Amino acid sequence: MSTKPAARKAPPPELVAIREAAQRLAVAQQALVARANLQQAEIAAAIAPITARHLPGMEIEAEERAAAQAALLALVEAAPTLFVRPRSVVVDGVRAGYRKDEDQLDWDDEAGVIARIRAVLPELEEILVRKQESLVIDALAQLTGAQLQRLGVRQITGADRPFVTIGEGDVDKLVKAILADIQRRIGEDETPKKKGKAKIKEAA
C-alpha cells in the first residue's frame, strides 16, 4: 500500500509579505554598500597622486614633530618645581606641564571587602556589590575615607605626571593619523615575524 507524502502547508500570506519585504531590504542594503565601496575606491584613486606628492614631506615633518615633543617632555620632566602654580604653560596652542592622575581605590581581597560590606554597611550592599560578587568601583568611590578604611579599601592618590598636548583641528587629526601609520609601519619593519606566538599587549 503506497503512502503519499503529506502536502506542505503554505505559509500564511503575512509571513510571505514579511519575507519579501526582508528580501527587498537586503537587496537595498547590498546596493547601498556596493555604491559606498565604489565611491570610496574612486575617492582613493582621485587623491592618490596628492597623497603621494605630500606624504614624503609630511613623514619628515611628522618625525620632527615627534622629536620636538619628546624634547619638550624631557625638559618638563627635568623641572617639576617650575609647575607648582600655574601647573602648565601654553605656547601657540601647545600646553605642557604637570597634571595629577585620577585617584584610585585598592584592596587586597575582593571577597573580604564584600564580606565586610555585608557586616559593616549592609544597607549599601545593593549599590556596592554586583550580583556576580564584584565591587562597584564608582559607588565605592563615593564613600568616606573612614568607611573605606573599615572595609579594608585604600585610597591611592594620583601621582603628578608631566604632559604635552596640542590643540586638535582637522589638520592635527590628519597629522595624528599619519603619525600612527608611520609608527605602525616602523613596527612592522622592526618586528620579526614569528609563527605560533601571540603578542601580549603591555598595560599602559
Query: Where do the structural domains in the chain lie, given as residue ranges?
Result: 104-156
Residues for the chain: how many in total?
Answer: 204
136 φ, ψ (degrees, to nearest 5): -95, 100
C-alpha cell at 165: 598636548
pTM beyond 0.85, yes or no: no
145: left (phi over 0), alpha (psi -120 to 50) or beta: alpha
- Whether the CB-CB separation of 69 and 113 falls below 8 Å is answered with no
pLDDT, one tens digit per residue, over 94-124 is 999 999 888 888 999 988 999 999 999 999 9
pLDDT digits (tens, 9 = 90+) for 6-60: 667 888 888 889 889 999 999 999 999 899 889 989 998 999 999 889 988 988 9
**Band of residue 200 on the pLDDT scale cut at 50, 70, 90:** very low
* Location of C-alpha cell 617650575: 82
Nearest C-alpha neighbor of 75 from the set 93, 101, 97, 95 = 97
Beta bridge partners of 106: 154
